[in-house]
Amino acid sequence: MPLALELDGVFFGYAAAAPVLRDVGLTVDRSEFVAIAGPNGGGKTTLLRLVLGLEQPDAGHVRVFVDRLGYLPQRAQSGVDAPLTVRELVTAGRAPRTRFLGPLRSSDRAAVREAIGRVGLGDRPDRRLTTLSGGQQQRAFIAKALAAEPELLVLDEPTTGVDAEAQETIGALLQQLRAELGMTILYASHEFGAVERFVERLVLVRGGIVFDGAPSQLPGVWHDPSHAHA
């Protein structure tokens, strides 16, 4: 399979602090669904920010071989108090593919409808975010990322604050997106139990990459989500 991204000998630290990431090497093929796990402060979010081009490495190289990126950052739900409907939120995610001025084209409106439908909210596009459950709100934010039709979807702690059933729903949704759209997915979390049975590959980050393989190959303690932050 062609590559979606590659990190080669990457070092990164913030200001004068000790390096957060040291000598990271990672390749991800197109259409892979990869979980990025590890303790808080271990470098997961920093790794994602390097992939997205939001940070530049102190040494080494980061190469991304796809054109369109979708990003669901941590605490994306912080905007749910705004009086937005699902459709309005998802339409905002279409901005990278639209003209700067003028009304939405029919293709833009169709992309918004499709994104909302793919996350299972097609029957409630005009519902306000404040009336939705936590899991539904998070699916709406995933739809916002999908509206730009990304080739690479990057999610940082997407199941934080939602219940176990909603976490399972989100994991299944992401697996479906990969299967139907061939999308490459990076899913970062300090707990990966919600997606363990859906992902084919787990990358464990603790300042560097200390494990990269099938979740079933990881030492048993890591299969209990209550230990995933240890």
Q: What's residue 186's pLDDT?
A: 96
Q: What's residue 79's pLDDT?
A: 59
Q: What's residue 220's pLDDT?
A: 60
Same domain, 84 and 50: no
Report the number of distinct structural domains present in the chain: 2
Among 100, 123, 150, identify where a domain stops.
150
Range of the domain at 9: 1-67+157-230
Kindly give the parts of the chain with pLDDT less than 50.
221, 223-230
Q: What's residue 114's pLDDT?
A: 96
Q: What's residue 18's pLDDT?
A: 83
Q: What's residue 168's pLDDT?
A: 87
Q: What is the secondary structure of the chain as a DSSP string?
A: --EEEEEEEEEE-STTSPPSEEEEEEEEETT-EEEEE--TTSSHHHHHHHHHTSS--SEEEEEE--S-EEEE-TTGGGGTTS--BHHHHHHHTTGGGS-SSSPPPHHHHHHHHHHHHHTT-TT-TTSBGGGS-HHHHHHHHHHHHHTT--SEEEEESTTTTS-HHHHHHHHHHHHHHHHHH--EEEEEES--TTTTTT-SEEEEESSSEEEEE-GGGS-GGGGSGGGTT-
pLDDT, tens only, 127-160: 999 999 888 999 999 999 999 999 999 999 888 8
Same domain, 85 and 186: no
Q: What's residue 229's pLDDT?
A: 38
Same domain, 57 and 168: yes
